[in-house]
Amino acid sequence: MGKCKSNLECSAWPNKLCINGFCMESSFDSCINDADCPWSSQRCLQNRCLQFGKPCKVDSDCPFGDYRPCSKLEENNQWEHVECQRYRSIFCIKSHCTKIDQICRADSECRFYPEVQCLNSQCAKVGQPCEKDQDCPFHLFTSCIESKCVKLATCSEDIECAGYPRYSCVDSLCAKLGQLCNKALDCPYYWATECVNSRCVKLRQPCDTDTDCPYYPNTACIGSKCEKIGQTCQYDMDCPFYPETPCLAGRCAKKGGSCQIDSECPNYPLTGCVLSQCTKIGEICWWDEDCSYFPYMECLNSTCKRVPTCVTDNDCGSDVPRECIKSLCLKRRLCRNNAECPLFPKNVCSNTHCVKLGKSCSSDKQCLGEKKRRCVKSTCIRLDLPCTFDQDCPFHPYTYCHENECMKTEPNATILQNPLSRRKSRFRKHHRAGTLVNS
């Protein structure tokens, strides 16, 4: 032990006193509060009497601060007990090491105010020189502003913070955000912030439109709150706000709201305007019914696409048999009843096919103008249907199947009955289009 003449000469270690001319560990080290310590220069810290009052120039000249236990949320959503940042309770105040961790409710309750202020209900020194927030002893409650540690202002909403959105209201304090990050857990206020475009930002502000949200287009207005979008994904269900944000080209993106034309939908052409609502285009499908907004969407080549629009049957392509029904070129479908025909009653089940019934007629001439319509049972109907059996044709026996196409039975004509027509027609689901076909 070193020789000494006063306690100050032993202050290199806070648990040593000058006893009988030597720096020795005090035998009176057990305490509950400062009054339990035998020397007026001692303070009770962690239930031990420790010597303070050492001359100093900066905080680092003073003894240690407290380690306080806390918890950290890991990526697997499990809480892990770790040691928090070392919070000092001994600071260099007026050139002497002084313990100042008294409980407080306001700055004025702290000795040495304004050099000492009330941070998180505890007196602490502010104003230390700094280059970044982490240089400040209480950096969750202070911020490095103009190279000094400054107490964060109190707030109730973001707009009360000067410099919003760089400074946002977090836990009633105007906290500085914008730190670099790879994930939310990298942010100092990870419980209330998100990592957006590699920066820590606060979200969930009230909004009416996407442009109301800070950091748009990396954020969007969903459920009247600003939320992060753009997460990587493989399936729609990977996205946290699905169905508002489906998976588009490997990223969670907003499909949009009401619309009149495709260009009004964000992420067009991956989205499009269907029934005045923006919807995802190109979903994987097996049947027409797998597609959102069926029958306005259909399954072609295992991909959901919009049904072509039309004015007459002549506007519909010949890739598959189609009819213009309520301005949509609907594919012909096999059916067992009207319920299986989309857009009923404009589209009805006749024998085994969904068909559009045309105008009333008394002769074929009255049905001219739209592909192969003929007057059958006083109604103009299309007969260019693929068929295998006579029963596949609408209004059979007034029609019949000839070389896989429906034909009209002429009056007084002798028709050679298709030998297969006596077999009962059976149905199965087509493996792509979602329509019914003969088997």
> Residues 230-258: pLDDT tens digits?
999 998 899 999 888 999 989 999 888 88
Q: What is the pLDDT of residues 328-386, one digit of tens each?
A: 999 888 888 999 999 999 999 988 788 888 889 999 899 887 777 889 989 998 887 77
Distance CA 100, CA 65 (A): 11
Q: What are phi and psi of 184, to 5 degrees?
A: -60, -35
Q: Is the distance from CB of 160 to CB of 181 less than 8 angstroms?
A: no
> Quick one: tokens of 230?
């753009």
In degrees to the nearest 10, what's the CA dihedral of 280, 283, 287, 290? Answer: -50
Q: Is the distance from CB of 323 to CB of 372 less than 8 angstroms?
A: no
- What is the structure's pLDDT at 61? 81
* DSSP-assigned letters across all residues of 193-233: EEEETTEEEE---B-SSGGGSTTTTSEEEETTEEEE---B-
The alpha carbon of 84 is separated from its chain's Cα centroid by a whole number of angstroms, namely: 30
- What is the structure's pLDDT at 247? 92
Helices and strands per DSSP (H, E), number in the chain? 0, 34
The answer to whether residue 408 scores a pLDDT higher than 50 is yes
DSSP 203: -
By the 10 Å C-beta count (0-12 exposed, 13-18 middle, 19+ buried), 101 is classed as: middle
Q: Where are the alpha helices (DSSP H) in 71-198?
A: none
Q: Is the distance from CB of 390 to CB of 438 less than 8 angstroms?
A: no
Distance CA 402, CA 419 (A): 11
Which residue, chain included where needed, has tokens 């049904």? 307
The more confidently predicted of residues 401 and 60 is: 401
The overall average pLDDT reported for the chain is: 80
In b/e form, how buried is each residue of 361-371, taking b as 16+ CB within 10 angstroms? Answer: beeeeebeebb
The answer to whether residue 416 scores a pLDDT higher than 80 is no
The answer to whether residue 146 scores a pLDDT higher than 90 is no
- Mean pLDDT across the stretch 40-66? 70
Q: What percent of the chain has pLDDT over 70?
A: 80
Calculate the alpha carbon distances from 197 to 49, 184, 216, 228, 241 in Å: 50, 11, 10, 10, 18
Q: Which of 275, 366, 279, 273 is nearest to 326 (CA)?
A: 275
Q: Is the distance from CB of 135 to CB of 144 less than 8 angstroms?
A: yes
Q: What is the pLDDT of residues 281-340, one digit of tens each?
A: 888 899 998 888 899 999 988 989 889 889 988 888 777 788 899 999 998 888 889 999
- What is the structure's pLDDT at 424? 41
DSSP 84: -
- Tell me the β-bridge partners of 22: 3, 19
Q: What are phi and psi of 215, to 5 degrees?
A: 70, 20
Distance CA 146, CA 127 (A): 10
List the beta strands (DSSP E) in 310-368: 322-325, 328-331, 347-350, 353-356
* DSSP-assigned letters across all residues of 290-312: GSTTTTSEEEETTEEEEPPB-SS
Distance CA 333, CA 340 (A): 8
Which residues have a Cβ under 8 Å from the Cβ of 303 and sit 6 or more positions away? 282, 283, 284, 285
The answer to whether residue 205 scores a pLDDT higher than 70 is yes
Q: Where are the domains of the chain?
A: 1-51, 305-438
Q: What are phi and psi of 63, to 5 degrees?
A: -60, -175
- Tell me the β-bridge partners of 83: 69
In b/e form, how buried is each residue of 29-58, taking b as 16+ CB within 10 angstroms? Answer: bebeeeeebeeebbbbbeebbbbbbbebee
Calculate the alpha carbon distances from 270 to 307, 343, 375 in Å: 16, 26, 43
Q: pTM (2 decimals)? A: 0.53
Q: Based on C-alpha coordinates, what's the Rg of the chain? A: 40
